[in-house]
Chains A and B, each alone.
Chain A
Amino acid sequence: MGSSLRRSYFRFLTAVLLATCGLPASAQALLTAEQERQALIQVLQKRFPGTGPADWQLGVEGLVAGAGTVVQAIPFDSDNATNSADILAIGKKRWERKFKDGKSFAHCFPNGGKRIAAAYPQYDAKSKLVVTLEMALNRCLQLHGEPEIEIGNLSAMGPLSAYARNLSEGQRIAVRVATPAAKAKFDAGKALFSRRIGQSNYACASCHVWQAGGVLGAPVPGMPAELKPAVISPVVGQAAAWPRLQPGGTVRTLQMQFQQCMQRSGAEPFALASEEFNNLEYFHSYLSNGLPIRTLTTQR
């Protein structure tokens, strides 16, 4: 799809999304990120009357009667505490490792890295790019002459990222979109969220806005059979609980989930830490502003 047609398509989707909230098309161009977030919350509240973001942070377990029992049936509980503790112990060791120059990750972040994760992803005006927490960890390594960690390396980046985020456990997400340049990245992420892609022609919004709460009646390709029936979670609240603990005790980051969703749609996924995914994570995380960070959960 050409760029001008894509912009038209995105404006159309935004108009459809916001028209349900009674906002005229002429006002949409002036909307701030927060206004757009509130408009989306209104759309989802019409689908889930009497609930709000605080309920949605639990994913579908906070919304759909019976979904919780499906999760409880998964035999993670007895291992979850052990796996989480193991992963955090590995992450803590990596976090506290001294670099060659005697510094450590704690020197790269305010407050020694405690209670900083809520501000990520963030727009970096110098590089004009969105920076995720994982990228910030790698920037720290680079700054101190250490080799960077491949972001997709589950055994290396996974525990480190989990520990770094766990230092902010319970802190309310506070992603900022404060400048026009930042808003442009937010909008780019929203465009990807709204764009139909892949052989199945799904947009993220197709499921996580317009079909949120819907019950999938058959296994989703790639999902373990014991997770059926899968219930579609609303997008607001999704970003609060990452990274997640997977069967076998490995870590799944939010961008890894993006990749899996794209693959399910029959699309070639963007690379982890690509500009496309960073912008999407920026938009997606902003939508969960105000919700507490929770790491290494096993919810779907």
Chain B
Amino acid sequence: MRWASAGAIVAASGLAVSQPDSTLGRALFLDPGKGNCAACHQVPADPAIKSTSRIGAPLVGIKSQYPDRARLRAIIWDLSTTIPDTIMPPYGRHRILTEAEIDALLRYLDGI
């Protein structure tokens, strides 16, 4: 159901599921049943993300901020290992996102 939901979001945006992974990554970013990242994070460089939240840090220049991809992956996997009182869900540890989905999300984050 979750893949269908992500696909529906992508399809609703006018883009097919077979488009590059950055599109799938954006879909995962928006999907309330998956990343739901837009609930807390703004993405100023992506007009498709209409979040106004200031709960989490705005996501800008992620690729240059986190040249160590493994570190960024670890943040998405489980930020509580470095920030114990974070409210960011542990997407990997709690299997909210699969490894492949985290990879797709990382590819999307590379471009913002």
B80–A216 touching, CB < 8 Å: no
Q: Name B40's contact: one of A16, A201, A210, A217 (CB within 8 Å).
A: A217
A266 at the interface (CB under 8 A from B): yes
B39–A201 touching, CB < 8 Å: no
B51–A200 touching, CB < 8 Å: no
A229–B53 touching, CB < 8 Å: yes
Chain B residues with CB under 8 A of A229: 52-53
Chain B residues with CB under 8 A of A211: 55, 87
| Least CB separation from B29: chain A residue | A218
B71 at the interface (CB under 8 A from A): no
Chain B residues with CB under 8 A of A210: 85, 87
Chain A residues with CB under 8 A of B54: 214-215
Q: Kindly identify, within residues 191 to 220 of chain A, every residue whose CB is under 8 Å from any CB belonging to chain B.
A: 199-202, 206-207, 210-211, 214-220
Chain A residues with CB under 8 A of B55: 211, 214-217
A221 at the interface (CB under 8 A from B): yes
B41 at the interface (CB under 8 A from A): yes
A206–B96 touching, CB < 8 Å: no
| Least CB separation from A200: chain B residue | B89
Chain B residues with CB under 8 A of A216: 39-40, 53, 55
Q: Name A215's contact: one of B53, B80, B95 (CB within 8 Å).
A: B53
A199–B52 touching, CB < 8 Å: no
A217–B51 touching, CB < 8 Å: yes
A-B contact count (CB 8 A): 60
B38–A218 touching, CB < 8 Å: yes
Q: Name A266's contact: one of B41, B80, B96 (CB within 8 Å).
A: B96
B87–A207 touching, CB < 8 Å: yes
A200–B94 touching, CB < 8 Å: yes
Q: Could you tell me the distance between the alpha carbons of A294 and B54 in the complex, rounded to whole angstroms?
A: 31
Contact with A along B42-55 (1 / 0, CB 8 A): 10000000111111
**Minimum CB–CB distance for B4 against chain A, Å:** 15
| Least CB separation from B50: chain A residue | A217
A201–B53 touching, CB < 8 Å: no
A201, A210, A229 pick with most chain B CB within 10 angstroms: A201
Known: A217-B52, A220-B32. A206 touches B87 (CB 8 A): yes
A202–B87 touching, CB < 8 Å: yes
Q: Could you tell me the distance between the alpha carbons of A206 and B51 in the complex, rounded to whole angstroms?
A: 20
B36 at the interface (CB under 8 A from A): yes
Q: Name A217's contact: one of B38, B80, B87, B94 (CB within 8 Å).
A: B38
**Minimum CB–CB distance for B77 against chain A, Å:** 12
**Minimum CB–CB distance for A191 against chain B, Å:** 17
A201–B90 touching, CB < 8 Å: yes
Q: Could you tell me the distance between the alpha carbons of A194 and B30 in the complex, rounded to whole angstroms?
A: 28
| Least CB separation from B32: chain A residue | A221
B20 at the interface (CB under 8 A from A): no
B40, B53, B94 pick with most chain A CB within 10 angstroms: B53
| Chain B residues engaging chain A, CB cutoff 8 angstroms | 30, 32-33, 36, 38-42, 50-55, 80, 85, 87, 89-90, 94-96
| Chain A residues engaging chain B, CB cutoff 8 angstroms | 16, 199-202, 206-207, 210-211, 214-221, 229, 266
In the complex, 19 of the A-B residue pairs with CB atoms within 8 angstroms, ordered by the A residue number, are A16-B85, A199-B89, A199-B96, A200-B94, A201-B80, A201-B87, A201-B89, A202-B87, A206-B87, A214-B55, A216-B53, A217-B38, A217-B40, A217-B41, A218-B32, A221-B32, A221-B36, A229-B52, A229-B53
Q: Shortest 10 CB-CB distances between A and B: which pairs?
A: A217-B51, A217-B53, A218-B38, A214-B55, A200-B89, A218-B39, A206-B87, A221-B32, A199-B94, A216-B39
